[in-house]
Structure 1
């Protein structure tokens, strides 16, 4: 592993890199939490193995006048050994003069949004997050990484840096990683080394209290959903901490992304506290969710929604709700009954006593049954494809299937795709994506799919015309037209592999749902 001490060293090293660079900024005194970030950064993405750079820089800008800048633990040799053992190829350990050569007065500073500085650590540490953001942005300008790996333990810092990078238009993906804990439950921290054995026992009450409150809010025996019966969890947290003799700086419940204070758990929120034990100031938190997360993926026909949605659901440990298959199944049933798909009244009669089931077979593949017929393959044929938009446009069909989908989504924990999932079915989904591709790209994909299934393949120009016409019908119909939700992320997939699309969706999901709240299920 290379040790880089100057900006010139770093820039020369960076110019020599040909693959993606993943960056883990630290203040040194590396521990198991840092090691988890380095190992995550070293994981292959999209078939390629990244180069990992770790920085060690004790940033004076983020320490207050009475804080521990001078005594903060420093051991570069030990840090280099841990970083190299975790998979880093280089360690950047600059002196203060390398990062702020003109001194503090000559340094351009980054000011985070005031709305993110009104809760948690910010009021008690004025200037801290300005100092963090200023140095991280400067490091990013030097390193130019594809990914920035940060711990979810410092949740406010993670939220602020994501916002700062987005506002500055920086393309670096910010990846949060779950908190790593020591045997007694304490979140790994360089400042844990300050604690005496007695202080450590006192500090351990913080994670224990958070776990207990989350358990009381989350699930009762046999329940599938959070009970949310505790009116003011922050007050209870403070009482438990003070009852154990801890000096409480704050105990707050805030919305996870706006950091706005809450009095009751609502949506995804964070219950957090800072306490003082001896010379150490320790922070910790837990996430609370009112239900399991929902991902809604909208987009035009032929954009690859079904393929990536199914894979994304497996990747995140969520259920796959194939709404397109539901509409295709109804279309198949209408054709099977010999009904004119344009006759709304006749189609409505076909829905009487409808028995539509989405199930998973023994090997984990989704199957579709309608009124006793197994139609998983039949609904993908060109005849159904040609008429599904017409059938789906009928209000009676939309009403029946939308009600069924909403019922399936009450518990959350699913990924759904369609053409109005984020606007009509799940408007409160944690993540909404408008997945699309150009007409030419979708025609090419459709031709390939037909060929693989053994169906005749029309000329590309004919397929393009069919797709363009279907886009027009879907976007102009009176009932639930195809539109992009105002808060949806657009993802244009031209030129992207399926793996790249899935990774982009995972990145978007993790910006909204941290791993601590919904853990990665790991490899199947």
Structure 2
């Protein structure tokens, strides 16, 4: 591991993004390193889209984020121990600048950044005015020097993570912000550099903090809403009261206990999907923060997009990586189309199709090798539904209101408890409008025609000229987008992902990153 102390050394080691052959991942810290920081370095070392990155750790006690009277002068600075931990965790370099090196013109000459007030003036920001201005200013300064492809931050400092994600998005910085789950000590206390301020007696006292959050999770489970997602949710006031009572019994000085929406940090009167229960307490001369993420149902992801965009391939792999159930709604419509054809029914005649929906036995399962099996009324049609004949008529069958209603009800029943990722052409708009993440995955007509030709060739079907395939795909797009019932369109809150030029692994990694921006790792670790 190289030790870097000047900006010249740093710039030489980092090189420019254009000069790099592998990504650079950056872990900014204020030192006093512990197991939580080790976990960030270890996460930063993991390959992304098949590339093994280099990892840079910085240690800089930032004077801009300490208010007068706070603990800047006594903040832990165990330089040798920090260097050893960073090396053992796998960092390739450690940047440890002086204040003069990072602020060569002095603090007074710095261009300051101020994140949005609605993200600052809540939780910790309400009690530490100017703190997040200082964080944003210094982190942006470091990002400008390092220019990493990925910024690694701990979920423990949740408000900081939200603010820095917003900063990166608003400034259009070309990097990903990755949050990593809170690491805890054996007694449940979240790892923190400030834990070393605690005496032995105080350490026993603050164990009430993680225990109070566990009591809130228990209250939610007792309310019967942890995985059901039904009813009007649980009272935020009731959850806050549970935590305050537990902290009061331990005689901890409570700075705040609040239930907020995790991404906007707006107050949540009731928990009906995803919420962040955040706490700050003081014990002796130590201020500690912690939180828990509460869910009334397991995560739900909706991936929409036109035919031939590669949704099935990447969604299946993404679901496996995140430990979610894969729901291929397109296969359901294809299976019904196959059944309509087998019964000799005109696919354009909705009235004739409607009786076939009565008692329909349509099942999706995963085979031992991971591939999805599709059965309809006792027939395994996993391969048959990919034929050109089915492809040509599935949009026609899917356009009937009776078909959409019947299969939408079945899909919604499958998704009631969450814990799945569903793909199709109206998942985010019609089937799961309250999904935690919505993605509109698409590609140009030319790219989809090329992929379709390759798929037909691999399956042993005749391959029409590319111009003919492009015309078929464009025609199907028009039919899907103009149908009266549940037309294909991008949901207003969906992220568009155009996959031209992207490898399958890169698309999957992008989906993982988008998911992590909405569902914290500590709430849903995945696999």
TM-score range for the pair, normalised by the shorter chain length: over 0.9
Q: What is the aligned partner in structure 1 of residue 135 from structure 2?
A: 132
Q: What is the aligned partner in structure 2 of residue 299 from structure 1?
A: 305
Q: What is the aligned partner in structure 2 of residue 358 from structure 1?
A: 364
Q: What is the aligned partner in structure 2 of residue 35 from structure 1?
A: 38
Listed as ranges, the gaps of 5+ residues in structure 1 are none
Q: What is the aligned partner in structure 2 of residue 267 from structure 1?
A: 273
Instruction: Note if contact 2:212-2:242 (Cα within 8 Å) is conserved in structure 1.
Output: no
| 2:228 is the counterpart of 1:225 | yes
Query: 1:484-519 deviations in whole A, cap 9, x for unaligned?
Result: 111110001011111110000000000000011111
| 2:160 is the counterpart of 1:161 | no
Q: What is the aligned partner in structure 2 of residue 14 from structure 1?
A: 14
Shift of 1:452: 0.7
Q: Select which of 115, 124, 131 maps to 2:118.
A: 115
Shift of 1:213: 1.3
Alignment of 1:168-247 (within 5 A): 168-218=171-221, 224-225=227-228, 229=234, 231-247=237-253
Query: 1:350-389 deviations in whole A, cap 9, x for unaligned?
Result: 2222111112334443211111211111111111011101
Instruction: Note if contact 1:119-1:261 (Cα within 8 Å) is conserved in structure 2.
Output: no
Instruction: Note if contact 1:217-1:226 (Cα within 8 Å) is conserved in structure 2.
Output: no
| 2:26 is the counterpart of 1:23 | yes
Query: 1:313-333 deviations in whole A, cap 9, x for unaligned?
Result: 111111111100000011000
- Whole-Å Cα distance in 2 between the matches of residues 366 and 438 of structure 1? 26
| 2:145 is the counterpart of 1:142 | yes
Instruction: Note if contact 2:223-2:234 (Cα within 8 Å) is conserved in structure 1.
Output: no
Shift of 1:185: 0.8
TM-score by length of 1: 0.97
- Whole-Å Cα distance in 2 between the matches of residues 115 and 190 of structure 1? 27
Q: Select which of 439, 444, 457 maps to 2:463.
A: 457
Alignment of 1:3-82 (within 5 A): 3-15=3-15, 17-82=20-85
- Whole-Å Cα distance in 2 between the matches of residues 420 and 33 of structure 1? 41
Alignment of 1:499-514 (within 5 A): 499-514=505-520
Q: Select which of 384, 387, 405 maps to 2:390.
A: 384
Of residues 226-235 and 488-497 in structure 1, the stretch that sits farther from structure 2 once superposed is: 226-235
Instruction: Note if contact 1:232-1:264 (Cα within 8 Å) is conserved in structure 2.
Output: no
RMSD: 1.5
- Whole-Å Cα distance in 1 between the matches of residues 198 and 218 of structure 2? 28
Q: Select which of 432, 446, 452 maps to 1:440.
A: 446
Shift of 1:345: 1.2
- Whole-Å Cα distance in 2 between the matches of residues 237 and 220 of structure 1? 16
Instruction: Note if contact 1:218-1:288 (Cα within 8 Å) is conserved in structure 2.
Output: no
Of residues 218-227 and 236-245 in structure 1, the stretch that sits farther from structure 2 once superposed is: 218-227
Q: What is the aligned partner in structure 2 of residue 345 from structure 1?
A: 351
Q: What is the aligned partner in structure 2 of residue 103 from structure 1?
A: 106
Q: What is the aligned partner in structure 1 of residue 434 from structure 2?
A: 428
How many pairs were matched up?
A: 521
| 2:332 is the counterpart of 1:329 | no
Q: What is the aligned partner in structure 2 of residue 478 from structure 1?
A: 484
Shift of 1:263: 2.8
Shift of 1:209: 1.0
Query: 1:259-300 deviations in whole A, cap 9, x for unaligned?
Result: 111232232111111111111100001010121111100000
Query: 1:132-163 deviations in whole A, cap 9, x for unaligned?
Result: 01100110010000000000000000001101
User: 3-state SS of the aligned residue for 1:232?
Assistant: helix
Shift of 1:57: 0.3
Shift of 1:86: 1.0
Q: Structure 1 residues 360 and 18 mapped into 2: Cα distance closer, same or farther (>3 Å)?
A: closer
Shift of 1:407: 1.5
User: 3-state SS of the aligned residue for 2:270?
Assistant: coil
